[in-house]
Amino acid sequence: MSETQNEKQLWGREGFRDDPYIEAESLEVAGDAPDVILPLAAWLGLDDEVRRTSNRRIGVSVAPGEDIGPLLEKLDTIPLIALQFPAFNDGRSYSKAELLKGRHGFSGELRAVGDVLIDQVVFMLRAGFDTLQVTNPVALERLNARDLHDTPGYYQPGRGSAQANGTFSWRRTPAA
């Protein structure tokens, strides 16, 4: 983990972790980096054969206004999808996360990038994100202290939760 708090850091349910990926506009720009995240258009522009036979992992980054439709039939070959939050209050990527993880069974890494603040961390995890790329100092500090601003129960199904015992069908408790 880096000492400076303003750097991007990658966090998942188990805590902070190293990020093997770099973000690049194209494979050419990425140089020798082993794992790369490309913008959606660049990713879609890759020849499927090139992508599959590449000896590096090539993830894709999707802006809130972009359609995930073209990715759906290739999901089992995608190692990582980064959904962007240009601002914390642009909530489109939550619905996409739900669709990717819940509906379409995406089993790669689903990552939230952008304006990731502490108050949205639980929402992101419950919507299906595996990792969060964090720069906000308060978020980093609180994640470090594992203070997620969670509630003891939830009123709707979501990932990382279990059916709450003896109560209404829509209620959940955080998974142990």
Partner 1 sequence: MYRYDEFDHAFVAARVEQFKDQVQRRLSGELTEEQFRPLRLMNGVYLQLHAYMLRVAVPYGTLSGRQMRRLGHIARVYDRGYGHFTTRQNIQYNWPALSDIPAILDELAEVEMHAMQTSGNCIRNVTADHFAGVAADEVADPRPFAEILRQWSSLHPEFSYLPRKFKIAVTGAEHDRAAIQVHDIGLHLKTNEAGELGFAVYVGGGQGRTPMVAKKIRDFLPAEDLLSYTTAIVRVYNLHGRRDNKYKARIKILVHETGTEELTRQIEAEWQALKESDLKLPQGDIDAIDSYFRPPVLPQRPEGWGALAAAKRTDTGFAAWVDQNVTPHKNPDYGVVTISLKPIGGIPGDASAEQMELVADIAEKFSQDEIRVSHEQNLVLPHVALADLHTVYELLLADGLATANAGLITDIIACPGLDYCALANARSIPVAQRISERFGAAERQSEIGELKIKISGCINACGHHHVGHIGILGVEKKGEELYQITLGGSADEITTVGEITGRGFSSEEVVDAIEKIVDTYLGLRTGKDENFLAAYRRVGAAPFKEALYGEVSRAA
Contact residues toward partner 1 (CB under 8 A) are: 64, 88-92, 94-96, 98, 103, 119-120, 122-124, 126-127, 138, 149-158, 164, 167-171
Smallest separation, CB 136 to partner 1 (Å):
10
The conformation of residue 119, written as its DSSP 8-state character, comes to: G
Closer CB to partner 1, 33 or 164, in the complex:
164
Closer CB to partner 1, 79 or 160, in the complex:
160
Closer CB to partner 1, 23 or 120, in the complex:
120
Helix, strand, or coil (residue 19):
coil
Backbone dihedral angles phi then psi of residue 50, each to the nearest 5 degrees: -60, -45
CA atoms within 13 A on the CB side of 17: 12
Smallest separation, CB 63 to partner 1 (Å):
12
DSSP string covering 64-86: TTS--GGGGGGGGG-SEEEEEES
Query: Rounded to whole angstroms, how far apart are CA atoms 127 and 99?
Result: 9
Smallest separation, CB 39 to partner 1 (Å):
20
Closer CB to partner 1, 25 or 67, in the complex:
67
